[in-house]
């Protein structure tokens, strides 16, 4: 008999593995404007997957545990899968996709050992390029819309403001 604890960890890790495989296979075709929505959908899907897998294990009687323990196991597996995906997005995929530093490293690396002049670097990557990339993503996620050449904020309760609010609260506590 497998313990529910190890089953939760295994299913949580397995679901994250599914997330990684799907992300590697399908995200190569996803345009910047569809990126945030696709990531959100994938994270929701991967957080629900452990519940279904745990239910299958429960029905298959992989472990003789009380229903409350199974419920707790489902919650743990789902939480672990969600957190693994969240950490991957925040610490690996996010910086790779949006970090200014990483883009600068890529641009400098593309010129080889001789390096790149400041002028050339700023010609390839500048505030204009940065703004266009982000505007495409924000339009795609439905946070802003473009109307008559002007951009309008339509979603004030988005993920950026939520993160900002949490960071603001933390800052307040640190500086109190």
Partner 1 sequence: MMDFCLAIGLFTMTVVVHILFCRQQKTKGLQAKAFIFIALFFLLIYIVITVLFNQRSFEWSSGLLFVLLVPVYLCFYVLTQLTSPSKKILQALDLQGPLNDKQIVAAIEEEDFINTRLHDLLISGCVVAHQDAYALTASGDKIAWILKAMQVTTGRGMGG
Residues 4-63 that bind partner 1 (CB under 8 A): 4-6, 8-9, 12, 23-24, 27-29
Q: How far is the CB of 63 from partner 1 (least distance, A)?
A: 12
The residues, any chain, with a CB within 8 Å of residue 96's CB and separated by 6 or more, are 102
147 SS3 class: strand
142 SS3 class: coil
104 touches 125 (CB < 8 A): yes
Q: Give yes or no for residue 1 binding partner 1 (CB under 8 A).
A: no
Q: Give yes or no for residue 2 binding partner 1 (CB under 8 A).
A: no
Q: Which of 52, 100, 123, 142 binds partner 1 (CB under 8 A)?
A: 100
Instruction: Give whichever of 61 and 118 is closer to partner 1, judged by the CB atom.
Output: 118
Binding window for partner 1 (CB under 8 A); candidates: 41-49, 53-61, 75-83: 75-83
Q: Give yes or no for residue 164 binding partner 1 (CB under 8 A).
A: yes
* CA distances in angstroms from 142 to 25, 74, 114, 168, listed in the order given: 24, 32, 42, 24
């Amino acid at each position: 008999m497998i313990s529910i604890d190890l089953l939760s960890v295994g299913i949580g890790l397995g679901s994250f593995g599914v997330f990684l495989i799907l992300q590697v296979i399908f995200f190569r075709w996803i345009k910047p404007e569809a990126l945030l929505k696709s990531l959100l959908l994938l994270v929701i899907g991967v957080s629900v997957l452990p519940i279904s897998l745990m239910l299958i294990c429960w029905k298959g009687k992989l472990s003789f545990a009380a229903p409350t323990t199974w419920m707790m196991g489902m919650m743990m597996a789902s939480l672990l899968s969600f957190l693994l995906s969240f950490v991957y997005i925040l610490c690996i995929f996010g910086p790779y996709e949006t970090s200014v530093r990483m883009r600068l490293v890529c641009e400098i690396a593309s010129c080889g050992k001789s390096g790149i002049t400041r002028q050339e670097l700023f010609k390839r990557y500048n505030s204009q390029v940065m703004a266009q990339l982000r505007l495409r993503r924000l339009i795609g996620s439905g946070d802003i819309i473009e109307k008559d050449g002007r951009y309008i904020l339509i979603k004030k309760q988005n993920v950026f403001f939520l993160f900002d609010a949490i960071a603001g609260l933390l800052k307040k506590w640190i500086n109190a």
